[in-house]
Homo-oligomer: A and B are copies of this chain.
Amino acid sequence: MRIAVGRAAQLLLEQDDILILTHQSPDGDTLGCGFALYYALKQKGKRAQVLCPDAWPKKFEYLYKEYKKEDFIPKYVVAVDVADTKLLGQLCPQFEGKIQLCMDHHPSNKLYAQYTLLDENTSAASEILYWVIKAMGADITPLIADCLYTGICTDSGCFKYSSVSPATHRIAADLMELGAHAYEINRDMFDTKTHSRIAIESMALNTVQYFYGGRCAVIYITQQMLEESGADESDLDGVSSIPRQIEGVLCGVTLRQKGPDAYKVSMRTEEPIDASKVCAKMGGGGHKRAAGYMVCAPLEEAIGQVVEALKEEFDN
């Protein structure tokens, strides 16, 4: 059942021993939501825990610096920024069908939870959590403000994407007044590149192939390239945006090797190409302007498949 902000806040206040689930390959929004909610629940005297199928990246350390793991048997399970239980990765079998509350902003949300607070018109799930935490009557401390600001700036490309609304900017203004370290967060998220990031970027750009008369650009990153550049997962943030940034490109595709013949395909598009539709055909999902899926095939075949899947969009 879909619910509104007030009801979500009420459900959270009524419960205790709350487990907060975040999605795999955790980003600033899922972790920002998770820890903001954790700190708010602690203020309200609850026991709470944040769980993620993958390790928390070190670059988000400032979000979990005051997190203390407590052991308890969860009585209430909440998912934040998780559109589909598949995105819980290895945790999926354990929690499938057992999630009581989901708070999310993805139009592709599968409504798998008992209660869902879904607002597709927000740039980040952290915008929704801002209203929920206020409705819970919790203080937005500087640390909670940092969590929510991180979710918003990372999911909105630092206020650049079409998902940004006047409300996004007003929440950002409030969060800055409440103590968010906006400048430092943006500097670390967007304006700091490791030497290996610079190397992997230049390697990836050397792989660019164009299709549909230059309107589609495809790049790839293999495990060998990662080894040669010394780059790791945390160096790859935002790499998927690169091919779409090339002049005249309406659809940018990035393939990242995940195993011998396994690739994560990320798609970034401009009007009128619907990434969410194309990726859904391939078993994935996401937003209109940003979506993705996993594919098990050799590289050339994987590229051929995604180009073929885009045919209908480019023919129209």
Residues of A participating in the B interface, judged by any CB pair closer than 8 Å: 157-162, 164-170, 172-174, 176-177, 182-183, 186-187, 190-195, 198, 202, 205, 241, 244-247, 270
* Cα distance, A193 to B208, chains bound together (Å): 14
B residues within 8 A CB of A167?
Answer: 173
B162 touches A183 (CB 8 A): yes
Out of B164, B182, B202, name the residue touching A202 (CB < 8 Å): B202
Out of B161, B170, B194, B202, name the residue touching A183 (CB < 8 Å): B161
* Cα distance, A304 to B51, chains bound together (Å): 53
In the assembled complex, how far is the CB of residue A102 from the closest CB belonging to chain B, in whole angstroms? 27
Known: A166-B173, A173-B166, A202-B202. A191 touches B160 (CB 8 A): yes
Known: A173-B170, A192-B247, A245-B192. A186 touches B160 (CB 8 A): yes
B residues within 8 A CB of A190?
Answer: 160
A158 touches B158 (CB 8 A): yes
Chain multiplicity (copies): 2
State the main secondary structure of chain A at its contact with B: helix
* Cα distance, A81 to B193, chains bound together (Å): 31
A245 touches B193 (CB 8 A): yes
In the assembled complex, how far is the CB of residue A34 from the closest CB belonging to chain B, in whole angstroms? 24
Extra contacts besides A161-B183, A169-B169 (4): CB < 8 Å: A164-B183, A169-B176, A170-B170, A198-B205
B residues within 8 A CB of A157?
Answer: 191
Known: A198-B205, A198-B246, A245-B193. A182 touches B164 (CB 8 A): yes
A160 touches B183 (CB 8 A): yes
Known: A159-B159, A246-B195. A174 touches B183 (CB 8 A): no
User: What are 6 A-to-B residue pairs whose CB atoms are below 8 Å?
Assistant: A159-B186, A160-B191, A161-B183, A162-B183, A166-B174, A168-B173
